Amino acid sequence: MQTIRPEIEEFELSGIGKVAAGALDDPDVIPLWFGESDLPTPKFIRDAAVQALDEGKTFYSYARGTMPLRAALKAYLDRLYGIDLDPDRVTVPGSSMLGVMIAGECLVGPGDEVILVSPYWPNVRQVVRIMGGVPVDVRLDEGNDRWRLDFDRLEAALTPRTKAVYVNSPSNPTGWIMTADEQRRLLGLCRERGLGLIADEVYHRNVFAGRDPAPSFLEIAGPDEPVFVVNGFSKGWAMTGWRLGWVVAPARLVEPMEVLSQVNSTGANVFTQYGGVAALEGGEDFVRSFTARCRANRDLVMETLGRHPRVRLTAPEGAFYAFPRIEGMTDSLAFCRRALKEAKVGLAAGYTFGDGNESHVRLCFAIATERLKVALDRLLPLIDGAV
């Protein structure tokens, strides 16, 4: 008798987790596998959380987020995008990961197809599967100067069962930033076909080309459209360990979002939310300096890996990953395991980012430039002989 749902029994670690398993604590490994830098969260943000703890902010609070954080989010998003957001649309359930899950809970039912603009962050595929939905990849095309979304191919992938589209911009792993025109076109298509949209904008402040912040669906979607804009503190303010993010949901879902937040987490950890307020109100200098570091590192990666005769690498416009294709390499997991063993560099295997990525690896270039240089020097001989 099948008691556990088969889709759950089939779950395996991603091609990030599989490489990293067992080597996380090895001090000789330079970790480029996860999506974070080696910078601790800025002190003024930590201080705000410590103060909240010292003041006894250790109780349950609103499941959709504390009042100060939701007010600060409204002020931040209004300022950033020149909008007037209804603060009731903001929910802080915990991490952005949980925000994507809740958006999936709102949009995806058994048998529903969900278009995933790929290459994508692997967790999102599992969200669709947990909900009993069917992930359908639509891969970006890798042009010489930038990645591009082929709308004809996207339309061709739609069926009567298609329920929603997930898109992440700036993108993990490609660094693609969707232009405002591309966003308008996608939103238009969703409107025409009655599709929901999950817009994952967690890298909105990690921008090297064009406007900071990256264009957002918050600027163009109406307040009651089935659009969920997910964002968080991890990537902009070096707060990955805090597990703090937010969702802007359709206006009519205020109560349902409260219920979903209740049952998933009963809201984000309360004292961390005070760190979130500090980040939003005083974090611009950090955002700028972190972007400058990542931009310099991006340039370093382009000058080294990007020029390698066996590598094809489109310059990332945002986020903080490079997603090179290595000619002649056909097993990304095996390559990453070799990189770990022989070069002591932690990479993420390309296959895990959707179909068609078996010759790619992902590396996060947000760490200190000197360490990144060492990692690249260690990797180049492996790429010379890549098989």
Residues that bind ligand PLP in the complex, under the rule CB under 6 A: 35, 95-97, 121, 168, 172, 200, 202, 232, 234, 240, 245
- What 127-131 contacts at long range (C-beta under 8 Å, 24+ apart), as own/partner pairs, is 127/100, 127/101, 128/104, 128/166, 129/7, 129/11, 130/7, 130/8, 130/101, 130/104, 131/104, 131/105
Instruction: Supply the minimum distance, in Å, between the C-beta of residue 377 and ligand PLP.
Output: 26
Q: CA-CA-CA-CA torsion for 184, 187, 191, 193, nearest 10 degrees? A: 120
Nearer to ligand PLP, 168 or 183 (CB): 168
Are 238 and 41 in contact by the 8 Å Cβ rule? The answer is yes
Instruction: Supply the minimum distance, in Å, between the C-beta of residue 24 and ligand PLP.
Output: 16
Instruction: Supply the minimum distance, in Å, between the C-beta of residue 121 and ligand PLP.
Output: 4
Nearer to ligand PLP, 170 or 226 (CB): 170
Are 207 and 317 in contact by the 8 Å Cβ rule? The answer is yes
Instruction: Supply the minimum distance, in Å, between the C-beta of residue 245 and ligand PLP.
Output: 4
Separation between Cα atoms, residue 89 and residue 103, nearest integer Å: 13
Nearer to ligand PLP, 176 or 271 (CB): 176
CA separation, residue 62 to residues 33, 65, 262 (Å): 35, 5, 9
Nearer to ligand PLP, 95 or 273 (CB): 95
Nearer to ligand PLP, 212 or 331 (CB): 212
Separation between Cα atoms, residue 88 and residue 67, nearest integer Å: 10
Q: Please name the amino acid found at residue 89.
A: R
Q: Angle 336-337-343 (CA atoms, 0-180°, nearest 5)?
A: 80
Instruction: Supply the minimum distance, in Å, between the C-beta of residue 381 and ligand PLP.
Output: 29
Q: Please name the amino acid found at residue 60.
A: Y
Instruction: Supply the minimum distance, in Å, between the C-beta of residue 116 and ligand PLP.
Output: 11
Nearer to ligand PLP, 101 or 329 (CB): 101
272 phi/psi in degrees, rounded to 5: -65, -30
Are 245 and 239 in contact by the 8 Å Cβ rule? The answer is no
Nearer to ligand PLP, 101 or 343 (CB): 101
Instruction: Supply the minimum distance, in Å, between the C-beta of residue 287 and ligand PLP.
Output: 16
